[in-house]
Chain A
Amino acid sequence: PVHRALAFPAWGLLFLALWMLPRVLGMEENPEHNNHGNEGFQIVTFKWDHVQDPYIIALWILVASLAKIVFHLSHKVTSVVPESALLIVLGLILGGIVWAADHIASFTLTPTLFFFYLLPPIVLDAGYFMPNRLFFGNLGTILLYAVIGTVWNAATTGLSLYGVYLSGIMGELRIGLLDFLLFGSLIAAVDPVAVLAVFEEVHVNEVLFIIVFGESLLNDAVTVVLYNVFDSFVSLGADKVTGVDCVKGIVSFFVVSMGGTLIGVIFAFLLSLVTRFTKHVRIIEPGFVFIISYLSYLTSEMLSLSAILAITFCGMCCQKYVKANISEQSATTVRYTMKMLASGAETIIFMFLGISAVDPYIWTWNTAFILLTLVFISVYRVIGVVLQTWLLNKYRMVQLEIIDQVVMSYGGLRGAVAYALVVLLDENKVKEKNLFVSTTIIVVFFTVIFQGLTIKPLVQWLKVKKSEHREPKLNEKLHGRAFDHILSAIEDISGQIGHNYLRDKWSNFDRKVLSKLLMRRSAQKSRDRILNVFHELNLKDAISYVAEGERRGSLAFIRSPSTDNIVNVDFSTPRPSTVEASVSYLLRENVSTVCLDMQALEQRRRSIRDTEDTVTHHTLQQYLYKPRQEYKHLYSRHELTSNEDEKQDKEIFHRTMRKRLESFKSTKLGINQTKKTAKLYKRERGQKRRNSSIPNGKIPMESPTHDFAFKEKELEFSDPEETNEYEVEPMSGGIEFLASVTQDTATDSTTGKKSKGESANPKQDPPAGLKEELGGPGPKAPQEKRTLLNMHAHLRSAAARRVQSRRSFHRPKPLRYPKLQKLASLPQSCHILPHSLEQEETQL
């Protein structure tokens, strides 16, 4: 993922380069070249002009990024001052330096740059990671604030300013009512970039956040329409505006907002559909996400619809399907790239806002106008929020308290959208453009710096309910799911169309039509929230298991209770392939050890000769070391060869096993000496039942009917080198022993299906794999091993009993090994699914 993520800063540069292209084209001539033109061929030439513009852009980006690093050096500063404010200040300083050197404001935030290249990534990021359920749950509230609130703000601010202007306090200005309304409309909208930047650091509760943030996103349509309407009115002239135009304006609002949304949904559909078929072009898979959503933005811009709405809805609608379709690695790439682009764009926006302010030509100071604007936007924001909340609270289930209202009013930050809009104004039509620009800059700076600075203490002081990040819990998800169904059932029974009813209908439709159409077949299966949580927990489990093993470097960790906080659940999820992929991926990310063992290389070469491509599912095998020299040869632009050599895995597996076996010998001795120690272990293990059952979730069993797995094991251990060290004899003894256990269980009460499943266990599960190690190639006598296994089995049974419900399985006949008796009463979770067995069979 890192490799691919790196490809994307280039995009950002490319965009910027495109913007600068016209300017670059004008500088074909190289003065240096001309000077020395007759000196023949130059070994080295200095062509600054040739690269000047992209170079400067890259430098700016670098400066902004470095600045971010510097800010975060001091935790104290960033915890108090929001980053956006710091960036603006930095921009001011840099702008000052540039101005001092050049006396021309050569770098400003132009509307084109902003709207085409900087805004889309931020909004896309917001849409793609939008908590959909929360958003749609509060959609009514958000819409009210976004539409009515923005219109209210625009109208009141514009009219009040006009009123004050009539009273003469502002002095002589060449503006009429329409100009004031135009100004009001562009200054009214809450800015998504600023809101995100500030609220991300404040961590208010999610409902509050989604309301403010959702408002800032959805008000774009209103802003666009109001801006366009008044802009055209201003150019028409006040006397020529008719009632028809006003009606047209209202109509255009609906067209712009609905159209934008529709474009977004259409492109989301396209995007989902495309990602369904990218199986063989995994490497460019993430690109589709960006390109198609960017196209949705541009398309709606082209049709003069609300581009922000389009890209927001594109991101929101496609997220489910895209995340299901693309591979885990691509998903990570998309996630990181999106975050990187968005945060990069945000950084640049704020820095350039600062830089743009350093330009004496745009500054027109009018104290009354600027101060009154500040006062009006704050006051009317408060009034608007209070009025709307009063209305909303009549209908809302979760009431918005006064504290929430305060935060909402205070969180109404203005930002770069307003600035870009005001810069877009035509100076010939709007005579006082400069005044508007300077006022907007002041307003933006005031809201971002002052309110951004104070909102955190305010939130703390008001004790606003903060959001809390919680671990996903399986129970929570299950109950949540049950709840959804209950609520929709209650609505059905009580016979009303409520929120739950609609959601239920939608999810039915989604499951029956959309998912089938837009998701890969394999993804349809796995896209279930509950399964996902289950999967996540399993992953965590596996990772910490391996990490723990790594840390201790021995098997001792199996017996210790320190791997807490992980739910010990059965590893056999219904999708072994996905599990495998993600486990390996995560493990590789976590385990950074690189081993350049020469022996390893040799081993690898030797094992290449192996024709059998046996895929094993041991987690242990998943963390592989990649010898770098070999890796180079495998370079390909189109393929990210992930696990190109299974053989190497195997080799490493062997080596690890050997190492572990060494350390195991010592501990094993300790166990055999005193039973007391064993008991102690048992107790220790009993303290935390979940971790105790980590190694015990699976039983390493070989069914005699399915000896293919067995053979494969033999194959593994009887590698040319391995055989020198270990005899096959004791291992097979161990397996035999295990097999007999299986027979017992199988004949007991469990069905044949289950015993079938068990046979696959050692292949699937890390603990099982470990057991195999112990039982398998140990050089000691089989007798000793048997006692050992017995003990393990006993420990396991303790865990099993705890898991067991009161109604355990019937045990009709006594078992041969009394200590293993409890094995039979293991819950079925310990048995692997039948279909995963099939999977294995096909692989073999």
Chain B
Amino acid sequence: SHRRSPCPGRGNSHTWDRALCYFGFLGDSLRESRGIGKEVVKGGVGVSSASSTIYQSWPGKGEGLLNWSSDDSGVIHKVSSDQIEQLHRRFKQLSGNQPTIRKENFNNIPDLELNPIRSKIIRAFFDNRNLRKAPSGLADEINFEDFLTIMSYFRPIETNVGEEQLEHCRKEKLRFLFHMYDSDSDGRITLEEYRNVVEELLSGNPHIEKESARSIADGAMMEAASVCVGQMQPDQVYEGITFDDFLKIWQGIDIETKMHVRFLNMETIALCH
């Protein structure tokens, strides 16, 4: 009974508990503000071994990205736990009340169909690198924790975090994007991969031919090379954009204000049919 979910009757209480703990044990204040006893959380950790592994594998011990609630006003905490509830509801909706989601489940989202890079995005959800499970490959199905892990990449960065942490968050967010581009997980965005992405990006516009998309990708690649390498020897070959190069390209652009989704107003959910 000490493992009672704070929101009883909300579906799969096991998953729910784990999810809560998943967020809970990262933010001490959340726990207190919600009045959840320590045992609850500890128990939760015990149960969800999977989440603790993720936690362990997370660089910086979960500071930042997974820490949804970091300042100490109670209002925000409540919102974030609401957010988890909402996301959980959504998860169940997508999965059809199953504990895991498969790729096919994403096809049920009507709004997603117009998205030109839909396949890339869906793939990112199953990418082991993003899920922090393996250095490459794709997962067949993801559970709610994984779902939250992906979602947490889009968590807004708190304003009052330190410089270091900000940099860390920034890197994590960029890593997500990088992984999306680097489809063969070799740590490099090659010209082929880049072209592929650009083609998909521009595929929304029926007037743009594939060829021009390619030449744009080539141009972008050259630009990237000149930004990252600068002077090149005549025989030097630019193999592709590495993650460090990627960071260089993004220098000066404040991604933290761009790459975030407002997980608020969850009541106004666009239901998937």
Q: Is the CB of A489 within 8 A of B121?
A: yes
Question: How close is A755's CB to chain B, nearest CB, in angstroms?
Answer: 14
Q: Is the CB of B252 within 8 A of A470?
A: yes
A835 vs B224: C-alpha distance in the bound complex, in angstroms?
28
> In the complex, what residues of B have CB within 8 A of residue A690's CB?
222-223, 225-226
Known: A495-B270, A570-B215, A689-B238. A490 touches B222 (CB 8 A): no
A401 vs B252: C-alpha distance in the bound complex, in angstroms?
20
Would you list which residues of chain A between 461 and 510 have a CB under 8 Å from chain B?
468, 470, 473-476, 478-483, 485-501, 504-505, 508
Would you list which residues of chain A between 825 and 840 have a CB under 8 Å from chain B?
827-829, 833-835
Stretch at the interface among A144-152, A431-439, A661-669, A798-806: A798-806
Report the nearest B residue to A561, measured CB to CB: B231
A803 vs B208: C-alpha distance in the bound complex, in angstroms?
23
Kindly state whether residue B50 has any CB partner on chain A within 8 Å: no
A688 vs B229: C-alpha distance in the bound complex, in angstroms?
9
The 8 Å CB contact of A475, one of B207, B237, B249, is B249
Kindly state whether residue A397 has any CB partner on chain B within 8 Å: yes
Kindly state whether residue B109 has any CB partner on chain A within 8 Å: yes
> In the complex, what residues of A have CB within 8 A of residue B117's CB?
482, 485-486, 489
Known: A568-B222, A805-B192, A805-B240. A492 touches B115 (CB 8 A): yes
Q: Is the CB of A491 within 8 A of B261?
A: yes
The 8 Å CB contact of B225, one of A394, A494, A802, A833, is A802
A780 vs B226: C-alpha distance in the bound complex, in angstroms?
38
Q: Is the CB of B234 within 8 A of A683?
A: yes
Stretch at the interface among B6-14, B28-36, B87-95: B87-95
Q: Could you say which of A486, A525, A827 has the most chain B C-beta atoms within 10 Å of its C-beta?
A: A486
Q: Is the CB of B222 within 8 A of A834?
A: no
A734 vs B257: C-alpha distance in the bound complex, in angstroms?
56
> In the complex, what residues of A have CB within 8 A of residue B258's CB?
480, 483
A722 vs B222: C-alpha distance in the bound complex, in angstroms?
40
A697 vs B269: C-alpha distance in the bound complex, in angstroms?
50
Report the nearest A residue to B269, measured CB to CB: A495
The 8 Å CB contact of B115, one of A476, A488, A572, is A488
Kindly state whether residue A617 has any CB partner on chain B within 8 Å: no
Kindly state whether residue A398 has any CB partner on chain B within 8 Å: yes
Stretch at the interface among A14-22, A216-224, A529-537: A529-537
Q: Is the CB of A567 within 8 A of B235?
A: no
Kindly state whether residue A528 has any CB partner on chain B within 8 Å: yes
> In the complex, what residues of A have CB within 8 A of residue B227's CB?
475
Known: A397-B260, A489-B118, A494-B263. A834 touches B223 (CB 8 A): no
A568 vs B237: C-alpha distance in the bound complex, in angstroms?
16
Q: Is the CB of B111 within 8 A of A492?
A: yes
Q: Is the CB of B231 within 8 A of A687?
A: yes
Kindly state whether residue B1 has any CB partner on chain A within 8 Å: no
Q: Is the CB of A489 within 8 A of B115?
A: yes
Kindly state whether residue A11 has any CB partner on chain B within 8 Å: no
**Majority secondary structure of chain A interface residues (helix, strand, loop or mixed):** helix
Kindly state whether residue B212 has any CB partner on chain A within 8 Å: yes
> In the complex, what residues of B have CB within 8 A of residue A508's CB?
114
Known: A395-B264, A483-B258. A534 touches B211 (CB 8 A): no
Kindly state whether residue A323 has any CB partner on chain B within 8 Å: no
Report the nearest B residue to A397, measured CB to CB: B156
Would you list which residues of chain B between 249 and 268 have a CB under 8 Å from chain A?
249-250, 252-253, 257-266, 268
Kindly state whether residue B216 has any CB partner on chain A within 8 Å: yes
Kindly state whether residue B221 has any CB partner on chain A within 8 Å: yes
Q: Is the CB of B220 within 8 A of A474?
A: yes
Known: A495-B93, A496-B269, A689-B238. A483 touches B259 (CB 8 A): yes
Kindly state whether residue A686 has any CB partner on chain B within 8 Å: yes
Q: Is the CB of A492 within 8 A of B237?
A: no
Q: Is the CB of A399 within 8 A of B226?
A: no
> In the complex, what residues of A have CB within 8 A of residue B220's CB?
474-475, 478
Kindly state whether residue A279 has any CB partner on chain B within 8 Å: no
Known: A395-B264, A397-B156, A478-B198. A803 touches B238 (CB 8 A): yes
Known: A483-B259, A487-B259. A531 touches B212 (CB 8 A): yes
Kindly state whether residue A1 has any CB partner on chain B within 8 Å: no
The 8 Å CB contact of B218, one of A397, A501, A686, A829, is A829
Interface size on B, residues (CB 8 A): 81
> In the complex, what residues of B have CB within 8 A of residue A568's CB?
219, 222
A569 vs B239: C-alpha distance in the bound complex, in angstroms?
18
Would you list which residues of chain A between 392 and 430 have a CB under 8 Å from chain B?
394-395, 397-399, 401
Q: Is the CB of A485 within 8 A of B115?
A: yes
Report the nearest B residue to A393, measured CB to CB: B159
Kindly state whether residue A276 has any CB partner on chain B within 8 Å: no
A834 vs B214: C-alpha distance in the bound complex, in angstroms?
13
> In the complex, what residues of A have CB within 8 A of residue B218's CB?
569-570, 803, 827-829
> In the complex, what residues of A have CB within 8 A of residue B112's CB?
489, 492-493
Known: A495-B269, A689-B222, A801-B235. A525 touches B208 (CB 8 A): yes
The 8 Å CB contact of B201, one of A482, A489, A501, A504, is A482
Q: Is the CB of B201 within 8 A of A485?
A: yes
Kindly state whether residue B134 has any CB partner on chain A within 8 Å: no
Q: Is the CB of A829 within 8 A of B219?
A: yes
Q: Is the CB of B198 within 8 A of A682?
A: no
Kindly state whether residue A544 has any CB partner on chain B within 8 Å: no
Q: Is the CB of A497 within 8 A of B238?
A: no
Question: How close is A476's CB to chain B, nearest CB, in angstroms?
Answer: 6
Question: How close is B85's CB to chain A, nearest CB, in angstroms?
Answer: 12
A503 vs B148: C-alpha distance in the bound complex, in angstroms?
24
A805 vs B186: C-alpha distance in the bound complex, in angstroms?
14
A608 vs B7: C-alpha distance in the bound complex, in angstroms?
87
A690 vs B218: C-alpha distance in the bound complex, in angstroms?
11
> In the complex, what residues of A have CB within 8 A of residue B240's CB?
805-806
Question: How close is B129's CB to chain A, nearest CB, in angstroms?
Answer: 16
> In the complex, what residues of B have CB within 8 A of residue A494's CB?
86-87, 90, 151, 261, 263
29 chain-A/chain-B pairs, Cβ below 8 angstroms: A397-B156, A470-B252, A475-B223, A475-B227, A478-B201, A479-B177, A482-B197, A485-B201, A487-B154, A488-B115, A496-B266, A511-B204, A511-B205, A524-B207, A567-B223, A683-B233, A686-B236, A687-B232, A690-B223, A690-B226, A693-B222, A802-B232, A802-B234, A803-B222, A803-B238, A805-B192, A807-B192, A828-B215, A829-B215
Known: A475-B249, A489-B112, A501-B270. 10 other contacts (CB 8 A): A475-B223, A480-B258, A487-B260, A496-B265, A496-B270, A511-B205, A534-B215, A801-B235, A801-B237, A802-B238
Chain B positions within 8 Å of A, measured between CB atoms, are 75, 86-87, 90, 93-94, 106, 109, 111-112, 114-118, 121, 125, 151, 154, 156, 159, 177, 180, 190-192, 197-198, 201-202, 204-205, 207-209, 211-212, 214-216, 218-227, 229-240, 249-250, 252-253, 257-266, 268-272
The 4 closest A-B pairs by CB, nearest first: A569-B219, A686-B234, A805-B191, A829-B218
